[in-house]
Amino acid sequence: MHKRTMIVALVFLLCSSLGLAACSGGNGGNAKVKIGEVTRSIFYAPQYVALSQGFFADEGLDVELQTTAGGDKTMTALLSGVIDVALVGSETSVYVYQQGSEDPVINFAQLTQTDGTFLVSRTPDDDFQWDDLRGSTFLGQRKGGMPQMAGEFTLRKHGIDPQQDLNLIQNVDFANISSAFASGTGEYVQLFEPEASIFEKEGRGYVLASFGVESGRLPYTVFMTKQSYMQKNKEVVQKFTNAVHKAQLWVDANSPEKIADAILPYFKDADKDIVLRVVKRYKDQGSYAADPVLDEEEWANLMAVMSGAGELKQEVPIDRIVDNSFAKEAKEKVKP
């Protein structure tokens, strides 16, 4: 089933299983806000900083965080009212808009501004060139998701046709990609952190390049909500965005060591050295957005990436599903 139609099907199934009460809307404007994150990831460090440093609480918000494992499931939970705010790739809001939704999903606060994946090889290569990938077996990400689209965008930028020049594998579930590579599938793999750093530390893989650096700035992971929720809960959305920006400023001002300490409670089974390594890598390459504004240049890049992947029916103007008013007010109110 294609990604765009899968979202609609999942909404129907979830509403059927949870009952109409759970699918009737948001939280009625209460200070309690339910966030659904697409995955638990160090890539989302500013979100955990906002929680651990009390920035949401300072704004008078009682935030409940749950991991909704996957873009389709996260969007389903948002559309059905199980969560109030989703932290997920902005492409999912485009898919909903392309379906002709009467209650579109609106992006209001950007958290990450680059892709978060890396090109990993089985062997070290100090003189890596992108042409080295030609004819290789490449273990890529799932079709229709931002990692895959940003990956293919980067490959085409370097003159490589992913479908013609590679033996491209895209039928492995996101959660199983690293284990598939570890068991011998592929010569190269596109990996998120912390798997890339874990492979490096164990000597089983070597990071050759960053797809985040190569694909440029994108509205990669964004807080979004339904238009109806936003209209009924403007004060809550503003307070939420203020807290996000406080966290962004805190991350910008503090060392990777201090950031790692702040987010470790959300990664209790993680190796602290790996968490630190990942935070430093993402911070050094500018993956964490400095402010919550989703600008027109980033949006245009998203449209180009989605179009190149064949996932865009037509370009979506930024003002249709992006509302920067909350982010701009947060920038005015919240100062370093």
For 16-67, how does the pLDDT look when each residue is reduced to its tens digit (9 = 90+)? 433 333 333 333 444 899 999 999 999 999 999 999 999 999 999 999 999 9
Say if CB 284 and CB 252 are below 8 A apart: no
pTM (2 d.p.): 0.87
Catalogue the E-assigned strands of 132-249. 137-139, 167-169, 188-192, 206-210, 221-226
Q: What is the spatial distance between Cα 144 and Cα 161, in angstroms, rounded to a whole number?
A: 17
CB neighbours of 123 closer than 8 A, spacing ≥ 6? 206
Is the pLDDT at 175 greater than 90? The verdict is: no
**Number of CB atoms found within 10 A of residue 134's CB:** 13
Q: What is the spatial distance between Cα 15 and Cα 19, in angstroms, rounded to a whole number?
A: 6
Q: What is the spatial distance between Cα 310 and Cα 133, in angstroms, rounded to a whole number?
A: 22
Mean pLDDT of 132-141: 96
Domain 117-215 has CATH 3.40.190.10: yes
Q: How far apart are the first and last CA of the chain?
A: 46
The closest of 146, 173, 142, 12 to 88, measured between CA atoms, is 146
Q: What is the spatial distance between Cα 75 and Cα 8, in angstroms, rounded to a whole number?
A: 9
Q: What is the spatial distance between Cα 324 and Cα 322, in angstroms, rounded to a whole number?
A: 6
Mean pLDDT of 167-190: 93
CATH topology of domain 3-114+218-333: D-Maltodextrin-Binding Protein; domain 2 (3.40.190)
Q: Which residues in the chain are classed under CATH 3.40.190.10?
A: 3-114+218-333, 117-215
